[in-house]
């Protein structure tokens, strides 16, 4: 394929419910969308950055700059045979996985449409339906957390991830266990602890969590290996793994036992498939994480989750959990059994509301070959 134009849109979307983690609180999502076109097809990708460099060093501003000055010119310069070629083509830019992933995702969408296949099938996925869970932020009180869990249990979600931070951890999780019994439950610390917190982290073993996500530093795989040896609860890595290279080392070290696959953090769909394959070889289950995506990123998440190694429910909740109105049609919905139907139309399989995107964007860049 030869792309003839790539556009970048800067969007700000109001969350229906503020989302708080150990690194801060978000009331709005600020991110970029990428629209790529060939003579025959249009593809969409989402750059899952935030306004602030708190979860990752990437922001709206860094991604816009790297896309505009390097990545987009490099894709417009010559034809692409397969989306897997973009990783090597982008390699001279170090890091900036989310920027790379947003553009690569738009190319994958076009590639699947050229084959006449849903994106899921083009990626090698086989499921027609995926099981999903929900990620619940740090609520102001235990009572409000219990209300959230009750509501999402009623909506059918299959797994409950609860954000924790020092001082808002054991007692909160224990309250959920006491109220709701043996529900599938896990915790996400977003790097808020150190090895000095070993006694507290070992106490969490009593709660029979499915896993604890990223308890230690965002750039660590050594202390996580030390911790895993002293915990019964499996560790799931998020922030520490930026692609198949990091993952290979974490597997070798035993830094955890489960991977949270975020397409943006890993550098794209091709890198996510490779990471999934490494995990399958190592016997690590994987699941799809989230970055509070709009409908575009959400549909990419649905597609990757159809691969066979995604054996645990992910964070891909319904559009309506985040947005008053999503930018895709139809929106992503979750059945009362906690499942999402995988689209069977070519590419992303739902329509992107382009007029809405154009009118909402507070900045826009267009580049032609």
Residues that bind Mg ion (CB under 5 A): 188, 213, 238
163: annotated active-site residue: yes
Site string for ligand OSB, 263-302 (x = CB under 6 A): --------------------------xxxx----------
338 binds ligand OSB (CB under 6 A): no
Contact partner at residue 250 from ligand OSB, Mg ion, none, CB < 5 to 8 Å by partner kind: none
Contact partner at residue 107 from ligand OSB, Mg ion, none, CB < 5 to 8 Å by partner kind: none
DSSP letter at 240 equals: T
Contact 287, 260 (CB under 8 A): yes
Shortest reach from residue 317's CB to ligand OSB, in Å: 6
Token pair for residue 308? 């066979």
Q: Is 263 helix (H, G, I), strand (E, B) or coil?
A: helix
Best CA proximity match to 45, nearest among 2, 7, 12: 7
Closest residue to Mg ion, Cβ-based? 238
Measured from the CB atom, the residue of 113 and 214 that comes closer to Mg ion is 214
Polymer length in residues for the chain: 369
Size of the site for ligand OSB (CB under 6 A): 12
Dist CA 369 CA 365 (whole Å): 14
Best CA proximity match to 269, nearest among 43, 13, 77: 43
Contact 326, 339 (CB under 8 A): no
Measured from the CB atom, the residue of 220 and 238 that comes closer to Mg ion is 238
User: Could you say which residues in the range 166-195 bind ligand OSB, by CB under 6 A?
Assistant: 188, 190
Sequence-separated (6 or more) residues with CB below 8 Å from residue 357:
9, 11, 33, 35, 327
Shortest reach from residue 289's CB to ligand OSB, in Å: 5
Shortest reach from residue 182's CB to ligand OSB, in Å: 22
Token pair for residue 65? 């700059």
326 binds ligand OSB (CB under 6 A): no
Q: Is 194 helix (H, G, I), strand (E, B) or coil?
A: coil
Contact 86, 78 (CB under 8 A): no
The CA-based dihedral angle spanning residues 301, 307, 312, 317, taken in that order and rounded to the nearest 10 degrees: 20
The single residue of 100, 161, 163, 165 carrying the catalytic annotation is 163
* Exposed/middle/buried for residue 199 (C-beta within 10 Å: 0-12, 13-18, 19+): exposed
48 binds ligand OSB (CB under 6 A): no
Dist CA 204 CA 206 (whole Å): 5
Residues forming a β-bridge with 161: 135, 186
Measured from the CB atom, the residue of 105 and 290 that comes closer to ligand OSB is 290
Contact 176, 162 (CB under 8 A): yes
315 binds ligand OSB (CB under 6 A): yes
Shortest reach from residue 239's CB to ligand OSB, in Å: 7
Measured from the CB atom, the residue of 243 and 349 that comes closer to Mg ion is 243
58 binds ligand OSB (CB under 6 A): no
Shortest reach from residue 258's CB to ligand OSB, in Å: 13
Token pair for residue 321? 């959990």
130 binds ligand OSB (CB under 6 A): no
319 binds ligand OSB (CB under 6 A): no
56 binds ligand OSB (CB under 6 A): no
Contact partner at residue 317 from Mg ion, ligand OSB, none, CB < 5 to 8 Å by partner kind: ligand OSB
Enclosing H/E stretch for 15? strand 5-21
161: annotated active-site residue: no
Measured from the CB atom, the residue of 98 and 348 that comes closer to ligand OSB is 98
Contact partner at residue 55 from ligand OSB, Mg ion, none, CB < 5 to 8 Å by partner kind: ligand OSB
Taking CA atoms, 333 is separated from 5, 138, 171, 336, in Å, by 32, 24, 32, 10
Measured from the CB atom, the residue of 107 and 138 that comes closer to ligand OSB is 138
307 binds ligand OSB (CB under 6 A): no
Enclosing H/E stretch for 11? strand 5-21
Measured from the CB atom, the residue of 55 and 90 that comes closer to ligand OSB is 55
* Site for ligand OSB, rule CB under 6 A: 21, 55, 135, 188, 190, 238, 289-292, 315, 317
Residues with a known catalytic role: 163, 262
């Amino acid at each position: 394929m030869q792309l003839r134009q790539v556009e970048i849109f800067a969007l700000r979307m109001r969350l229906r419910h503020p989302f708080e983690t150990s690194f801060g609180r978000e009331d709005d999502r600020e991110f970029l969308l990428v629209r790529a076109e060939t003579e025959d097809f249009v593809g969409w990708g989402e750059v899952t950055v935030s306004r602030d460099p708190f979860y990752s060093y990437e922001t709206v501003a860094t991604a816009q700059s790297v896309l505009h000055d390097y990545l987009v010119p490099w894709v417009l310069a010559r034809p692409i045979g397969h989306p897997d070629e973009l990783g090597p083509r982008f390699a001279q830019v170090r890091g900036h996985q989310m920027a790379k992933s947003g553009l690569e995702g738009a190319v994958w969408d076009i590639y699947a449409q050229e084959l006449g296949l849903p994106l899921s099938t083009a990626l090698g996925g086989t499921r027609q339906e995926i099981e999903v869970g929900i990620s619940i932020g740090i609520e102001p009180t235990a009572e409000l957390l219990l209300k959230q869990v009750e509501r999402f249990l009623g909506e059918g979600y299959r797994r409950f991830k609860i954000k924790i931070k020092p001082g808002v951890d054991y007692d909160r999780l224990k309250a959920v266990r006491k109220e709701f019994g043996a529900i599938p439950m896990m915790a996400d610390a977003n790097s808020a602890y150190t090895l000095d917190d070993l006694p507290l982290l070992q106490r969490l073993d009593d709660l029979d969590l499915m896993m604890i996500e990223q308890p230690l530093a965002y750039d660590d795989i050594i202390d996580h290996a030390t911790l895993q040896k002293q915990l019964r609860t499996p560790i799931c890595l998020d922030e520490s793994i930026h692609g198949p290279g990091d993952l290979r080392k974490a597997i070798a070290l035993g830094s955890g036992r489960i991977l949270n696959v975020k397409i943006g953090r890993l550098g794209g769909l091709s890198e996510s498939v490779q990471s999934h394959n490494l995990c399958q070889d190592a016997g690590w289950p994987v699941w799809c994480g989230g970055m509070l995506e709009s409908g575009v990123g959400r549909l990419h998440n649905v597609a990757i989750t159809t691969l066979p190694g995604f054996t645990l429910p992910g964070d891909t909740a319904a559009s309506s959990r985040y947005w008053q109105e999503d930018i895709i049609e139809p929106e992503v919905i979750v059945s009362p059994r906690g499942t999402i139907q995988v689209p069977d139309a070519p590419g992303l399989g739902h329509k992107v509301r382009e007029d809405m995107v154009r009118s909402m964007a507070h900045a826009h860049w267009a580049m032609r070959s």
